[in-house]
Amino acid sequence: MDLVDIIAEKRFLGQEFLTWLWCKSEERSGAIDLPGIGDISVAFEKHLLLEYGEGESHEKVICQGLQAELNEARTGLRMGKKLEQARIVLGRGEYEWIMTVKASMFDFKSVKTPKTMASQEDSDDPMAVEGKILEKIGLYEQALQLVDELFRLYLTVRLSPGWEAELARLRAWIRIKE
């Protein structure tokens, strides 16, 4: 399958993952236990984009704001709209990353990395520059590692016999009216 077909046929995969992650993030007040890593925090906030239909009938709905608007996005899910983009806060230990994830393509937008001592320094010394670059890359890669592990957690349950029960929980969560 070439990339264009994969994007078209498997578009649902990223969207279903993001919806599952949203539901999962509310199960234990934002805490998700990642095998080998432990508890991390996941929070959905401020910005959600849902889409519906294809081609000419393609529609997009942006829900921006605090809790009330997130409820509106839940209503969208109940109407069969798909979660395509969300602003997520990921926390691990003292570190926090904020990023917008576009589900169908895995675009990571406006990713804010944790502030560190080195990132505050402003030096032209080649060693300092190299250190700064390496640290920044490391912080981006840590964020991607968390996303990968969350995705692996979803895929593991998705491909297991336990998916039916998980799907029932997900459906129940979508149906709940706040």
Partner 1 sequence: MGLLSNSGTFVRFAVEGEMPENFWEFAAERIAANAFKDIDDNYEEYSIGWVSVMNMFDSQFAYASHAVGDYIVLSMRIDERKVPSAVLKKFCMKEEERVRKEKQVPKLSRGHRLEIKESIKLMLTKKAAPMPAVYDLCWNLANNTVLFFSTSAKVHMALEDLFKETFGLHLVLQVPYLAAAHLLNPAQEAELAAMNSSILL
Interface residues toward partner 1, by CB under 8 A: 3, 6-7, 10, 12-14, 16-17, 19, 77-78, 80, 102-113, 126, 129-130, 132-134, 136-137, 140-141, 144, 148, 151-152, 155, 158-159, 163, 167, 170-171, 174
How do beta strands 38-52 and 59-65 pair? antiparallel
The structure tokens 């990132």 sit at 119
Cβ of residue 129: shortest distance to partner 1, in angstroms? 5
Nearer to partner 1, 37 or 133 (CB): 133
Our CA angle for 43, 7, 160, nearest 5°, is 60
Nearer to partner 1, 72 or 136 (CB): 136
Say if CB 42 and CB 90 are below 8 A apart. yes
Cβ of residue 10: shortest distance to partner 1, in angstroms? 4
Cβ of residue 86: shortest distance to partner 1, in angstroms? 14
Q: Report helix, strand or coil for 89.
A: strand
Q: Which amino acid is at 106?
A: F
Our CA angle for 95, 96, 97, nearest 5°, is 130
CA distance 66 to 47: 9
Nearer to partner 1, 61 or 111 (CB): 111
174: how many CB neighbours lie within 10 A of its CB?
15
Nearer to partner 1, 4 or 68 (CB): 4
Residue of 15, 74, 82 lying closest to 52 (CA atoms): 82
Cβ of residue 21: shortest distance to partner 1, in angstroms? 12
CA distance 3 to 151: 20
Cβ of residue 108: shortest distance to partner 1, in angstroms? 6
Cβ of residue 28: shortest distance to partner 1, in angstroms? 21
